[in-house]
């Protein structure tokens, strides 16, 4: 590493520590609890309804539905289970392939695999970090045929069961264009909006463009329930089916245990939902605080010729869940990660591309120049809310 780079990295570390008013270990994204969390948790414990039935589950679902502008919301134990069920209720099974992006967290491809389906990888946009409509369109035009209203992979003869774009780090992809392509080919659009609560594209909340969509409330997300997820949809039948199969597919009855299909024990416990209700009450303040942090980073990194700040895309309003930098090359990226982590500032590279993991290396893959370019350069920097510091 050159001395010049050392000085630049030290300047960055100093700025981040000053921004967060700490010289202690600084995590990438820690939760904050500054509202009614303790009060609601106590209420939940006093009620004894701490499992998957209780008023906080219903209230949390209502709050998320109202905030996103969706008609229905179904709470689950985590974002991965939400995506698994979302894919299942639109018909994805072992006879299907699901088109997605390689630049994503492993949960996206795990959920596809739980349905015994295989992912197909198309490229991402450099600007949005999310699925490229052009790459999606190219794959469908060149590699599929349309038979009796069904999109079929010409090589494998499998149905294209869904398209799953991901709003990376909370930055909306060009989801309206993707939705139009899906409509043309009669393919269900399932949005992986796990990271994008509070993000909008063309004044419409992410997750409301698809047939069904999911969010995550893991401990490192914008708001948290400890672990939790949410399925949202405007389709009443899909919402009812999601709730049914996430509660072990139990048929309502005063006392009999009757189950009418294979179901899943995926419902969010009331005690987690209590935390979620308190967090939702603070969401607007958290989002405003995170935008201030992003603005501080945006201004600071204008002083660096070879380091780019990943800003919100055109016509988007991002939640800036994780702030990201674009470094000039992979060597600089590795030096930056080593130096910052050694000095107690937690930074992380972007995920390894899914098609490079052994489980998915045999999956059909379109050319990925943008995804590879981004993988070599992206690092995430501390992004938690600074309220109360």
* Domain end residue (candidates: 281, 316, 344): 281
Position of tokens 């993991």? 357
The total number of structural domains that make up the chain: 2
* pLDDT at residue number 1: 39
Do 121 and 91 fall into the same domain?
A: yes
Q: Cα(first)–Cα(last) distance of the chain, in Å?
A: 33
Whether residues 126 and 172 share a domain: the answer is yes
Tokens at residue 33, please?
Answer: 């609890």
Closest by CA position to 80, among listed 50, 117, 112: 112
> Treating both helix axes as pointing N-terminal to C-terminal, what angle do 3-19 and 330-342 enclose, rounded to 10 degrees?
50
Q: Is residue 13 part of a domain?
A: yes
Same domain, 292 and 208: no
- 119 or 51: whose pLDDT is higher? 119
Cβ proximity of 164 and 198 under 8 Å: no
Report yes or no on 389 lying in a domain. no
For 255-272, what is the mean pLDDT? Answer: 96
The phi-psi region of residue 149 (left if phi > 0; otherwise alpha if psi is between -120 and 50; otherwise beta) is: left
pLDDT at 52: 83
Give me the pLDDT at residue 184, please. Answer: 97
CB 242 within 8 A of CB 86: yes
> Where does a domain end: 258, 281, 304?
281
In this prediction, residues 178-192 reach a mean pLDDT of 98
pLDDT at 6 over 80: no
- CATH assignment of the domain containing 302: 3.90.1150.10
Instruction: Give domain status of residue 48, yes or no.
Output: yes
Q: What is the DSSP letter of 148?
A: T
pLDDT value of residue 4 = 47
Phi-psi bin for 60: left (phi > 0), alpha (psi -120 to 50), beta?
alpha
Classify 129 as helix, strand or coil. Answer: coil
Q: Flag whether 145 is in a domain.
A: yes
pLDDT value at residue 23: 87
Q: What is the pLDDT of residues 312-345, one digit of tens each?
A: 999 999 999 999 999 999 999 999 999 999 999 9
Question: Quick one: 271 and 289 in the same domain?
Answer: no
Mean pLDDT score of the chain? 96
Judge contact between 325 and 309, C-beta under 8 A.
yes
Mean pLDDT of 10-34: 95
Is 376 within a domain? yes
Write down which residue in 217, 251, 281 finishes a domain. 281
Mean pLDDT within 235-246: 98
In this structure, are 345 and 208 located in the same domain?
Answer: no
Work out the percent of the chain whose per-residue pLDDT is above 70: 98
Does residue 387 form part of some domain? no
Q: Answer yes or no: do 360 and 329 share one domain.
A: yes
Whether 233 is covered by a domain: the verdict is yes
Task: CATH number of the domain at 43, please.
Answer: 3.40.640.10
Same domain, residue pair 122 and 187: yes
pLDDT at residue 174 above 50?
yes
- pLDDT tens readout for residues 130-168: 999 999 999 999 999 999 999 999 999 999 999 999 999
Q: Say whether both 228 and 323 belong to one domain.
A: no
Shared domain for 291 and 208, answered yes or no, is no
On whether residue 388 sits in a domain, the answer given is no
- Give the span between the Cα atoms of 209 and 175, in whole angstroms: 7
Answer yes or no: do 74 and 150 share one domain: yes
Q: Which domain holds residue 291?
A: 3-28+283-381
- Asked if 309 and 161 sit in the same domain, the reply is no
* One domain for residues 262 and 310: no
């Amino acid at each position: 590493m050159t001395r010049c780079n050392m000085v630049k990295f030290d300047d960055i570390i100093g700025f981040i520590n000053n921004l967060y008013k700490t010289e202690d270990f600084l995590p990438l994204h820690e939760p904050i609890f500054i509202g009614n969390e303790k009060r609601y948790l106590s209420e939940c414990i006093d009620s004894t309804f701490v499992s998957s039935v209780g008023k906080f589950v219903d209230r949390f679902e209502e709050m998320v539905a109202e905030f996103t502008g969706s008609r229905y919301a179904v709470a689950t134990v985590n974002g991965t289970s939400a995506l698994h069920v979302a894919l299942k209720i639109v018909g994805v099974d072992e006879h299907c392939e699901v088109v997605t992006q390689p630049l994503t967290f492993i949960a996206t491809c795990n959920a596809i695999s739980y349905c015994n389906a295989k992912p197909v990888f198309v490229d991402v946009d450099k600007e949005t970090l999310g699925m490229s409509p052009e790459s999606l369109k190219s794959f469908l035009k060149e590699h599929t045929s349309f038979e009796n209203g069904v999109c079929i992979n010409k090589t494998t003869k499998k149905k294209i069961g869904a398209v799953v774009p991901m709003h990376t780090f909370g930055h909306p992809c060009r989801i309206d264009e993707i939705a139009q392509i899906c409509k043309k080919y009669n393919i269900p659009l399932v949005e992986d909006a796990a990271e994008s609560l509070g993000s909008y594209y063309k004044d419409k909340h992410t997750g409301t463009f698809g047939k069904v969509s999911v969010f995550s409330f893991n401990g490192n997300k914008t708001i948290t329930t400890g672990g939790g997820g949410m399925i949202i949809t405007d389709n009443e039948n899909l919402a009812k089916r999601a709730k049914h199969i996430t509660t072990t597919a139990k048929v309502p009855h005063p006392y009999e245990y009757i189950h009418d299909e294979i179901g899943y024990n995926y419902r969010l416990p009331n005690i987690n939902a209590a935390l979620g209700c308190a967090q939702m009450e603070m969401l607007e303040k958290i989002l405003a605080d995170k935008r201030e942090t992003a603005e501080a980073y945006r201004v600071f990194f204008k002083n660096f010729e070879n380091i780019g700040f990943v800003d919100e895309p055109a016509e988007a309003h991002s939640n800036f869940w994780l702030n990201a930098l674009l470094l000039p090359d992979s060597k600089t990226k590795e030096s930056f990660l080593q130096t910052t982590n050694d000095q107690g500032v937690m930074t992380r590279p972007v995920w390894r591309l899914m098609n490079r993991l052994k489980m998915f290396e045999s999956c059909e893959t379109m050319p990925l120049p943008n995804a590879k370019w981004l993988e070599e350069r992206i690092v995430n920097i501390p992004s938690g809310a600074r309220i109360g510091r």
